[in-house]
Structure 1
């Protein structure tokens, strides 16, 4: 009974495996997209690297020999002989072309901005944002193969006071307040933003996940001050 269920499960996986899970290596070209050293690496290869033997017929005529007879008292007619040219077959070996290439793509880097720009106050929300897009797309033509790459970033803010905020929003200036932070004490804080990129690529109608992620850090320094009390009559 257990073996029967296992066979049914294997048959179900085989029949209903999506096209995105099929490796492109089974087609005319093998492509792959992955990350390395915070870069997008795109590789493509086609051709089996073997050799194709072609036969070409080359007609090489054999030189016709000259007949010579010693002189005799009577004229003796020369004997005519027919010579057929020899046909030689020459083999020409042509190695098949093995194409491969490797491309490197970089994702955008972020610049941090905040409001108010000059000496924000304690206990007042500070608005933060960066200039990264929410979608990075690139179409690559490599050894005649078209590959579409798409990545989206996630954002991890560290405000410098021990608090962390994670979001999929890059933020925006006022009046947008999707990314804000309120400091409780005056001081100079080092703000860091880690943008983590991941996504997929499409080739010959099949969509596959890009192996690995890309993490790009950005930094900013903010000085927060306390508000002075003013007494009036």
Structure 2
């Protein structure tokens, strides 16, 4: 008995949720997410595709009553031979049935993908940086990426912001939301202790929100872009001066 009561409660509690979701999707369903390094926009209107057959009623012809024929007495004629009446069979009327008309509820949907900006790596001094001297790093990535998309009449506003992880090639890392700048305004610097050639890797991670009908939601997933270069650091020559 308790099991049946719980099942009934569960069914009644789920029914309104399903009806609400269906009603919302009939107005508009919008989603923004990331896939294969791109930003994906999707919009849909309507609850279709659905098809239902609505057969029309078959109209039968009305039966018309025929008047009765009263046979009048014929005069008796001597030696007259009466031929028997030959009745011809009536053709049956064929009633054509109309085919059912399919009523289809259609839905509108559209999908759009966008690529985010890429960047390069710059550093200073750009010719043979010296050991024990700070090297300034930066990139030209904008602080935010904004886009407005119109899909099947639904306007979606997107704002994406980057964060950066630097790997300087000698085991040192730095995470920041600053793009950096040249000397003397840059905040991303690194000092190498030993001469050599180092691979510098920059990982840019994009995340953000989208707004539809005044409601802001988080974009599902993130986009990562990788940029790399090599830098050669040299030792300064020592000269003794009297």
TM over 0.5: yes
What is the Cα deviation at residue 115 of structure 1?
A: 0.3
What is residue 199 of structure 2 aligned with on the other side? 190
Q: Indicate the larger mover: 110-119 or 36-45.
A: 36-45
Q: Is 2:152 aligned against 1:143?
A: yes
Q: How does 1:7-46 map to 2 (within 5 A)?
A: 26=24, 28-46=27-45
What is residue 132 of structure 2 aligned with on the other side? 123
- Taking structure 2 as the reference length, what is the TM-score of the superposition? 0.68
Q: 1:197 to 1:93 in 2, by over 3 A?
A: same
CA distance in 1, matches of 2:230, 2:223: 24
Please provide the CA RMSD for this pair.
Answer: 2.5
Q: How does 1:103-182 map to 2 (within 5 A)?
A: 103-182=112-191
Deviations 1:58-107 (A, max 9, x none): xxxxxxxxxxxxxxxxxxxxxxxxxxxxxxx9986553431111111111
What is residue 74 of structure 1 aligned with on the other side? none
Q: 1:23 to 1:93 in 2, by over 3 A?
A: closer
What is residue 235 of structure 2 aligned with on the other side? 226
Q: 1:202 to 1:24 in 2, by over 3 A?
A: farther
CA distance in 1, matches of 2:44, 2:217: 17
Q: Indicate the larger mover: 36-45 or 178-187.
A: 36-45
What is residue 206 of structure 1 aligned with on the other side? 215
Contact map agreement 2:33 2:220 (CA 8 A) in 1: yes
Residue 26 of structure 1 aligns to a residue whose secondary structure is helix
CA distance in 2, matches of 1:25, 1:118: 64
What is residue 217 of structure 1 aligned with on the other side? 226
In the alignment of these two chains, the number of paired residues is: 180
Contact map agreement 1:24 1:30 (CA 8 A) in 2: no
CA distance in 2, matches of 1:53, 1:119: 79
Contact map agreement 1:198 1:213 (CA 8 A) in 2: yes
Contact map agreement 1:155 1:193 (CA 8 A) in 2: yes
Unaligned runs of 5+ in 1: 1-21, 55-88
Off by >2 Å, runs of 4+ in structure 1: 22-25, 50-54, 89-97
